[in-house]
Amino acid sequence: MRKHLVAIIIIVLVGAGAALTQGVSPINSARSLLEDERNTIEIVREFGPSVVAVNVIAPLSRGQGFNGPLGDLSDRLRERLQRDPKGGFKFELDAPKQDRPARQGSGSAFLLDSEKHMVTNFHVIQAALLPETNELRDGAEINVIFPNVEDPIPVKVLGANPSFDLAILVPLDGKLPEGATPLLLGDSDLVEVGQKAVAIGNPFGLASTVTTGIVSAVGRTLPSVGQIPISMIQIDAAINPGNSGGPLLNSSGEVVGINTAIVPGNGGPFSRGAFAGVGFAIPSNLLADNLEILLSGGFTDVFESRPRIGITVRNLRSYPESVRQSLSLPDEGVMVVEVQTGGPGDLAGLRGANFTVNVEGQEFPAGGDSIIAVNGQPLEDATGLQELVFSRAPGDTVVITLVRNNEIMETPIVLEVVPRE
């Protein structure tokens, strides 16, 4: 009787357990990846190994810091947060040192071609360079670290362009780890608002960090990136200090931008705060347009070595609508205000303003040529004109479309390097 009772109890308990488990889903139930997830994983697997961490060590006087929109780690974080040899992190509560003969900055870069050229932002490596050269300062070092590779690789700066915040790095010994595949440059002119954006970089020293988002806007002009206005790609993919110089990839894994700047959550642009959903990347076409000069080596001062038309202009969109209508001016383009004597614009016959219109105490130059296109490409403002001209070489000819006395004309101009007055 007792054996039968035990058997009945066991059967009841097992049955109850089976009944309970029937309504519970397995913890590790399999789920197919979404197409977008698979795409991101493929991009990271194929191109992630070609994105490197850039470490800069430079002797600094007290009070100096690393320049640039994304800079390096903040003093507070750097003094507290140190990498543990075992791969984790440890906090150190020692008081900060009063004398700091050298300081380390961090950034990102990516492999550009089979010749081992790597692209980064100029501001990432600027502190290590002698002023207006691509030569390292005494005691300065720059090295890169590839993913899953322990040993840093010493590099030198082949070419530097502060005007566009670009630089090219090459290894000192010519060696790179196996498996590093050059990234392909995409056409940033084809980037559309809403398309996928993948950022890979080294934020806060956390190598091979991947974030995704979308392109939020194109054609954003930021005053503190480079030395001249640049039409940037705005993204919401999270980028932070240390991401500078890393690639912005599209869904095909093509580089469409170089991650450069953020608007932090604690204030204005380019401070060292955390990311607030607004990041900016230099368009890949700007890199492509200046690549030949960068690869030729040296320090490129755009204003001294690049051609200009030799004119002073003002954006027509800044004119009140009433002024544009009364003078029959285009809504977009630029008004030629002054023409430098003997410059390309002067030799081509461009005319500057010869009178002004005063509206509520503000003067608007008038009577000069209105430039509305360059080489058939419609012109919106002075930034667009500057980019089109700077992307050419001395001796190149551009065709300017202008409006003069209500007539549309085309004028060829041979670009030359014009000394600044």
Query: pLDDT tens, position by position, for the chain (421 residues)?
Result: 555 544 444 434 333 444 444 555 555 555 678 888 999 999 999 999 999 999 999 886 544 444 444 443 334 434 433 444 444 433 333 333 444 456 678 899 999 999 999 999 999 999 999 998 999 999 999 999 999 888 899 999 999 999 889 999 999 987 888 778 899 999 999 999 999 999 999 988 888 899 999 999 998 877 656 556 678 999 999 888 889 999 999 999 999 999 998 876 654 444 445 556 789 999 999 999 889 989 999 888 655 566 889 899 999 998 999 999 999 999 999 999 999 999 999 999 999 999 999 988 888 999 999 999 999 999 988 888 887 887 787 889 999 999 999 999 999 999 987 655 5
Look up 244 and say whether it is catalytic: yes
Look up 123 and say whether it is catalytic: yes
User: CATH for 188-299?
Assistant: 2.40.10.10
Helical (H) or strand (E) element with 160 = strand 153-161
Please tell me which residue in 72, 108, 165, 188 is annotated as part of the active site: 165
Residue 158: its pLDDT value, please?
Answer: 96
* Highest CATH level, class, for 51-171: mainly beta
Decide if 359 contacts 320 (C-beta within 8 A). Answer: yes
Give the other-Cβ count within 10 Å of 126's Cβ: 20
Which amino acid would we find at residue 382?
A
Residue 177: its pLDDT value, please?
Answer: 83
User: Domain-by-domain residue ranges, the chain?
Assistant: 51-171, 188-299, 306-414
Of the candidates 192, 48, 182, 62, the one whose C-alpha atom is nearest the C-alpha of residue 119 is 182
Please tell me which residue in 106, 108, 123, 370 is annotated as part of the active site: 123
Please tell me which residue in 188, 208, 216, 244 is annotated as part of the active site: 244
Residue 12: its pLDDT value, please?
Answer: 41
Look up 117 and say whether it is catalytic: no
Residue 95: its pLDDT value, please?
Answer: 36
Pseudo-torsion of CA 169, 175, 178, 182, nearest 10°?
30
Residue 304: its pLDDT value, please?
Answer: 59
Using DSSP's 3-state secondary structure scheme, residue 99 falls into: coil
Of the candidates 330, 327, 355, 352, the one whose C-alpha atom is nearest the C-alpha of residue 341 is 352
**35/33 Cα distance (integer angstroms):** 6
Same fold for the pair 188-299 and 306-414: no
User: CATH for 306-414?
Assistant: 2.30.42.10
